[in-house]
Structure 1
């Protein structure tokens, strides 16, 4: 007798399989052969079971190949380094080099407000103090030939929408040939005036050198910070660094490096944190750059450039404000789970900031590179690439048209900066 027995037909093999298989229901296909209705019912039931089985297999494999993120949460009670704190007095300098042009811009703003809203609104908004910052060795630049352009006057426009009359205020921007123009309009006249003033202000400030030494300015931290304590101990002069922001004024960052053991946080609670008594003084140096009175504050990581316009918040004067901090640490795996970067070295964008990599720093750098490439000059509020210069409508009359279109594309995620700038892995 042979070891392997072959079946005479497929029917015999199928009958043997159904009678000896451990699959529930297959024997019904054979024993109920005389009842076609019962056989058809068990056949459909068996096929449906196989379909459900393979559907479950497909779900499991698709979930596996999607590389799902597994979230693990843990609570640790250990000393942490206190974050970096940046405060600004919302009082930007009037540099002597451009003070004359800023006075002219203030007069133009008053004339525009009078033209738009009548004589009742023509009360002086600007009280210029004799507080211009003098930069040594740059007095000869005041005769650079810069002139405020009259081609960007504020206009009131009206149109009919849905049978109703709507008015807006804005200014006109054109390309280099004048064949492509659009109006930068706002439904609020105040918003239009602020943006119009900001546009002229950037052109004026482009006359300043890229690096300006403000260390000789008479203002010190004592003029803004009356009292500073951390964990009950007075702050030291080495605990802060000073810089000037063109919109938010004189700024100080506490614990910027995060390496001093003095700033180790061992206990939670108000008495063990940073306590500041600040003086918020409105000198009205450049009031139309910011309509906020008080102090701009940002809490951020160490060795990180503070982008106050995006992540800062305002504290109004005359009150005691308590800020609670909770730190959420995110570790991205990268690879198949999504793109991220450890230190920014593998990013195609050349960063223009000297601090550690952040998504905002990469986006600003990417936009500035595109701005220089397509518009021929750089945006004043961002650092410059090597060999570039800031935009000035006396030299590049159409840069505003180019800038606002690029910025709208960036805001609507139509520039490739978001593809080139991954989030940090941690």
Structure 2
């Protein structure tokens, strides 16, 4: 008896039967609920029904899984109130609204234009006093009164003509905007732009500005303040700032009796009318590790008032990629700084602007340490500077400044009252004279002068607990796996065992097909 060997190929019935047997065996052994009905039902109509049902369930599973994967990196915000017995006190930056002391300008060539303007402002003020002393009929307008007073009119015309010589007013620019669309209110850039060294030498000094300082009912000294320069306000002084010693002041009690108490002397007689529109101080509570920008987010306090600023700390924690786009220090976006401060959105935006200004105009408008060796912009850079400012304000510089992944902010609530009181003035003056500030003791010779020169500030925590605002991911790896498994079980009847069985089926079919295709 002889055996007949049939070549392996697509037409071999034995091979077809083997694949069919593999699928039938799978249908009999699988833990899936719908697939055995599709394969083992005897009637075609029944097979079609079960196949349609399984296919529809699988389609719904795929649709819901796709929705799940689309939101796999979604996040939610969790707000929590954290109770604490001790809270780190924020850094507090205070600035005089006046940049430079008038008495320090002298008669040097560099400050000649500012001194000239100040002298003309004095003459203008004298002209106003002359006009006020003249008896004028009730029905005349202010312009008529100015024209009738020739001396006053001459002073006024001289003042306006000097500004016209500097190309700052006039030229059919009644709206106060240049042809680039940027306001020229900061016209002093076209006249003079003080350097850091000039601010240090000619600005208000900490020993004159801060007459009295108390923290947590203890006396604090000048050494507790770190001096920084700000192009808007000159010398600014930061309490509890980021210093080399690394000391952090903390409070264990809330309320106005605790925290930081300051008595500030603005030296109103030293103000420059051509550079300063307001009288008072600027204050900003902030995280001690970031650079203060009081010109953007500070509070202005008027002299002659005692101002209470109650603060509440809010800690914000954001998610980085893939859930969010925050930054842990700016390194990922190329934010590099030579100073000791950490990344913040304002610092990033200002650095982006100054980098572009340095590239396009070869000058900067802020005397930051990062730009040592680069000159400050002056009158000759006016058009170039305004062009960069216009691009910056219209978001055409494409500054990439995402939010930091961790941020401390301080919500404030402000109240104020007139200060000092008439009956308390003499006691206050005696106390200030004992501090050793001879100028304050001499200038503050009556209560009205005191109210023009003194600011009392109390800044404290309203409550020691703080608010934690945290972004948390909606989905974790465990939740995605669990939800996907639940959808498989609900719609298709699959479990992990079924998935393994399916992979084994696919492997067996592929092996059998390879046997049919490849020659022995």
Q: Same fold (TM over 0.5)?
A: yes
Partner of 1:102: 114
Question: Of 292, 296, 299, which residue of structure 2 is paired with 1:310?
Answer: 296
Partner of 1:405: 387
Bigger drift between 227-236 and 72-81 goes to 72-81
Alignment partner of 1:357 is 2:343: yes
Find the structure with the greater CA-based Rg: 2
Following the alignment from structure 1 to structure 2, what is the Cα–Cα distance between the partners of residues 303 and 210?
A: 21
SS of structure 2 residue aligned to 1:78: coil
Summarize the Cα distance change of 1:203–1:336 in structure 2 as closer, same or farther, 3 Å threshold. Answer: same
Say whether the 8 Å CA contact 2:180–2:386 is kept in structure 1: no
Partner of 1:170: 176
SS of structure 1 residue aligned to 2:82: coil
Describe the superposition over 1:338-386 as per-residue Cα deviations: whole angstroms up to 9, x where unpaired.
2233233333144364422222122212211111211232224655635
Describe the superposition over 1:27-65 as per-residue Cα deviations: whole angstroms up to 9, x where unpaired.
xxxxxxxxxxxxxxxxxxx98x9987766544433222x
Corresponding residue pairs, total: 340
Partner of 1:323: 309
Partner of 2:283: 297
Say whether the 8 Å CA contact 1:155–1:170 is kept in structure 2: no
Bigger drift between 253-262 and 355-364 goes to 253-262
Partner of 1:424: 404
Question: 1:261: Cα distance to partner?
Answer: 6.1
Following the alignment from structure 2 to structure 1, what is the Cα–Cα distance between the partners of residues 154 and 257?
A: 46
Describe the superposition over 1:198-231 as per-residue Cα deviations: whole angstroms up to 9, x where unpaired.
32x224434x65544836x796534332321111
SS of structure 1 residue aligned to 2:48: helix
Say whether the 8 Å CA contact 1:353–1:361 is kept in structure 2: no
Following the alignment from structure 1 to structure 2, what is the Cα–Cα distance between the partners of residues 407 and 261?
A: 38
Alignment partner of 1:62 is 2:70: yes
Question: 1:290: Cα distance to partner?
Answer: 2.8
Partner of 2:456: none
* Bigger relative CO (Cα 8 Å, ≥ 6 apart): 2
Following the alignment from structure 1 to structure 2, what is the Cα–Cα distance between the partners of residues 223 and 53?
A: 74
Partner of 1:333: 319
Following the alignment from structure 2 to structure 1, what is the Cα–Cα distance between the partners of residues 394 and 199?
A: 37
Cα RMSD (Å) of the superposition?
4.2
Question: 1:99: Cα distance to partner?
Answer: 2.6
Summarize the Cα distance change of 1:13–1:262 in structure 2 as closer, same or farther, 3 Å threshold. Answer: closer
Question: 1:84: Cα distance to partner?
Answer: 0.8
Question: 1:264: Cα distance to partner?
Answer: 1.2
SS of structure 2 residue aligned to 1:87: strand
Partner of 1:145: none
Partner of 1:86: 93
Structure 2-normalised TM-score? 0.55
Question: 1:183: Cα distance to partner?
Answer: 6.1
SS of structure 1 residue aligned to 2:389: helix
Summarize the Cα distance change of 1:344–1:284 in structure 2 as closer, same or farther, 3 Å threshold. Answer: same
Following the alignment from structure 1 to structure 2, what is the Cα–Cα distance between the partners of residues 112 and 410?
A: 37
Structure 2 residues not aligned, in runs of 5+: 1-23, 29-38, 128-141, 157-162, 407-520
Describe the superposition over 1:109-130 as per-residue Cα deviations: whole angstroms up to 9, x where unpaired.
899999xx975786979xxxxx
Bigger drift between 352-361 and 101-110 goes to 101-110
Alignment partner of 1:347 is 2:359: no
* Between structures 1 and 2, the one with greater helix share: 2
SS of structure 2 residue aligned to 1:296: strand
Summarize the Cα distance change of 1:388–1:10 in structure 2 as closer, same or farther, 3 Å threshold. Answer: farther
Question: 1:91: Cα distance to partner?
Answer: 2.3
SS of structure 1 residue aligned to 2:316: coil
Following the alignment from structure 2 to structure 1, what is the Cα–Cα distance between the partners of residues 343 and 365?
A: 20
Alignment partner of 1:375 is 2:390: no
Partner of 2:167: 152
SS of structure 2 residue aligned to 1:170: coil
Structure 1-normalised TM-score? 0.66
Summarize the Cα distance change of 1:338–1:107 in structure 2 as closer, same or farther, 3 Å threshold. Answer: farther
Summarize the Cα distance change of 1:362–1:183 in structure 2 as closer, same or farther, 3 Å threshold. Answer: closer
Summarize the Cα distance change of 1:262–1:299 in structure 2 as closer, same or farther, 3 Å threshold. Answer: closer
SS of structure 2 residue aligned to 1:337: coil
Say whether the 8 Å CA contact 2:363–2:375 is kept in structure 1: yes
Alignment partner of 1:231 is 2:231: no
Question: 1:248: Cα distance to partner?
Answer: 1.9
Question: 1:265: Cα distance to partner?
Answer: 0.9
Partner of 1:202: 189
Question: 1:7: Cα distance to partner?
Answer: 5.8
Summarize the Cα distance change of 1:346–1:218 in structure 2 as closer, same or farther, 3 Å threshold. Answer: closer
Bigger drift between 371-380 and 258-267 goes to 258-267
Partner of 2:45: 11
Following the alignment from structure 1 to structure 2, what is the Cα–Cα distance between the partners of residues 236 and 359?
A: 32
Summarize the Cα distance change of 1:319–1:387 in structure 2 as closer, same or farther, 3 Å threshold. Answer: closer
